[in-house]
Amino acid sequence: MRASFTPQEVHQDWPETVHGRIITALLYEIMENLMYKQGTITMMRGMEAKVGSPASVGKKLLAESWLEERSGRELSVHSELTDEDGKVFAQGSASLVVLSQEQIDRMGMGA
């Protein structure tokens, strides 16, 4: 899955620098929505984010996520946040679990 985002001044922490929680939220969303966009409803068990160099306000960021491994209902997904030149700002990994139809219905997410 791929998405882009151009952070604005309201997304900064230090001057001209994107807040780390915005970076982490982007990683979370791109990983959580990967399977949802494929028609599978999951919940995240846990996530790890590694932030490298700071991202700048006003410069487009590209987020990408992919399925690394699947074992039954357990999924391992990864993500990366880069600029248009491919410079990596952050990487994420998460463990997702596929919800059963009963769980989906109980949460009110069924059709």
Helices (H), the chain: 20-36, 101-106
Give the integer Cα–Cα distance in Å for 95 and 47: 7
The pTM (predicted TM-score) of the whole model is 0.91
Residue pair 55/20 in contact (Cβ under 8 Å)? The answer is: no
Residues 2-43: tens digit of each pLDDT: 999 999 999 999 999 999 999 999 999 999 999 999 999 999
pLDDT for 98: 97
DSSP 72: T
Q: Tell me the domain boundaries of the chain.
A: 2-106
Residues 32-88: tens digit of each pLDDT: 999 999 999 999 999 999 999 999 999 999 999 999 999 999 999 999 999 999 999
Fold observed for domain 2-106: Thiol Ester Dehydrase; Chain A (3.10.129)
